[in-house]
Amino acid sequence: MYSVGRLGFPEGEWDDEEDHRGWCDEKTGLMCMVKRNYFGTFCGYVRIPYHHPLFRVDYTHSKVSELDPHGGITYAGSVMPGTNQSDEAWWWLGFDCNHSFDLAPAGVGGCRDGMPYRNLEYVTEEVTRLASNLIPSPYEKGKRE
């Protein structure tokens, strides 16, 4: 079971949350994942197959930045986030909730106090929305730049 050491995290709504959630999105069939990082904030990811138009497209590419989950896409790669496992038939796209406008449990008492904490439910919804936005239109199927 994946968990993050919480030594130094003050008490908060994160105390009763899981550190990891994975599922297959019912509407898209895409694998989705949420993981807490060592700052205590969540990162969200969606796995796409090799035939997807965004397979192996870097997160800085304009087509990827158009997806616009919370804070924008900040990860693209074949390595499953949080592991060293790589599978060349899959590509992960992800985002994080550790921006200057997010509260990080490891940083409570610092300059981000008063910012909202992006909880597990919020990030799960953002990942699901990202998965929906990754389903290409019939026009784009098979089209790659």
For the stretch 34-51, pLDDT in tens is 999 989 999 999 999 999
CA distance 15 to 27: 31
Q: Which helix (H) or strand (E) holds 23?
A: strand 20-24
30: its two tokens: 């895409």
Whether the Cβ atoms of residue 4 and residue 38 lie closer than 8 Å to each other: yes
pLDDT, tens only, 66-119 = 898 999 999 999 998 878 888 889 999 999 999 989 999 987 766 677 899 999
9: its two tokens: 């995290």
Domain residue extents for the chain:
28-133
pTM: 0.87
